Amino acid sequence: MKVTGARVVFLDSPAGKDAEFNRWYDLDHIPEFVALDGVISGRRYVATPACKELRRPTTIEGMKDGKGTYCTVYFFGDDDLPAVTAAQGIKGTEIRQQGRRFPDMDVVRVQDFALESVVVSKDLHLDPTAVPHLGHQSLLLGIGEMLDMSKRDAVGQWYDETHHPDLLEIPEFLAILRFSSLAVDPGPPAGTHLLNLYYFEGPATVAYEALRALMPSLRERDRYLPGLEQARRLIYVSPYEVITPLDYGFLDAGS
């Protein structure tokens, strides 16, 4: 099914309860939300201590000090994205009323997006509609904020035609999905926030270090959009590892 949008949820478990929290999430919580009309899938990720060491400083309140250890990305397949997100809210209320919400878990941030574009490694010959479903072992998640909405189309074009193809030259990069935020009432208008999901093969830390090593050469080659820093700022960038359901080996190293 074609992906039209996504919901990104950042969470933290109560101290000392990670194993129980993850089991509840896999066996109780996520199946209920994936079963809703218009929802295609839900994937879970964790920012290990090594991932958190590589995070950029964030301006998002609530996401500082290592918050947002866990991330869930739901993919939507309905053109009426507000109806899908509303159904998610109704299901959340139903679960709370049933007493099935994990005690003291912290939902740090929830945001909904529309899919704008996908690019994939030249070694992979996938239809664009198949790219969001591509298997991967880790992820880089970046959220940007538009400072000048009149430059939104130019920024999107730069991502699609220049920056993301440049990044896909890194061997560990498999595909990149670009999203823009839905309107929030009350709140900022649609397109204020940009979401990029970078699919990696191998550990997130290895791919992210390769990305950081590439950045100086991109600047030297004038591969950055003129005026980018005045048009858009990055407000959250963090690598994450994929969570395989019921496999919580990452807890052995702390989370």
Average pLDDT rounded to a whole number, residues 173-181: 98
Give the H/E segment covering residue 1. Answer: none
Q: What confidence score (pLDDT) does residue 112 get?
A: 97
The helix/strand/coil state of 220 is: helix
In the block, tokens 């397109």 appear at 191
pLDDT band at 19 (very low <50, low <70, confident <90, very high): very high
Average pLDDT rounded to a whole number, residues 133-160: 97
Average pLDDT rounded to a whole number, residues 44-67: 93
pLDDT band at 252 (very low <50, low <70, confident <90, very high): confident
Fold of 5-244: Alpha-Beta Plaits (3.30.70)
35 neighbors 88 (Cβ within 8 angstroms): no
pLDDT band at 188 (very low <50, low <70, confident <90, very high): confident
Side-chain-side CA neighbours of residue 14 (13 Å): 9
The dihedrals phi and psi of 119, each to the nearest 5 degrees, come to: -135, 150
Average pLDDT rounded to a whole number, residues 142-146: 97
Q: Which residues pair with 233 in a beta bridge?
A: 145
pLDDT band at 255 (very low <50, low <70, confident <90, very high): low
Q: What confidence score (pLDDT) does residue 82 get?
A: 94
Q: How high does pLDDT run on average in the chain?
A: 95
Domain ranges of the chain: 5-244
pLDDT tens digits for range 103-131: 999 999 999 999 999 999 999 999 999 99
| Extended beta strands in the chain, E state | 5-12, 39-46, 70-76, 106-120, 138-146, 173-181, 193-200, 232-242
0.75 exceeded by pTM: yes
219-227 LR contacts (CB < 8 Å, sep 24+) = 223/162, 223/163, 223/166, 224/163, 225/154, 225/155, 225/158, 225/162, 225/163, 227/151
114 neighbors 156 (Cβ within 8 angstroms): no
Cβ neighbours, 10 Å, residue 210: 17
Percent of the chain with pLDDT over 70: 99
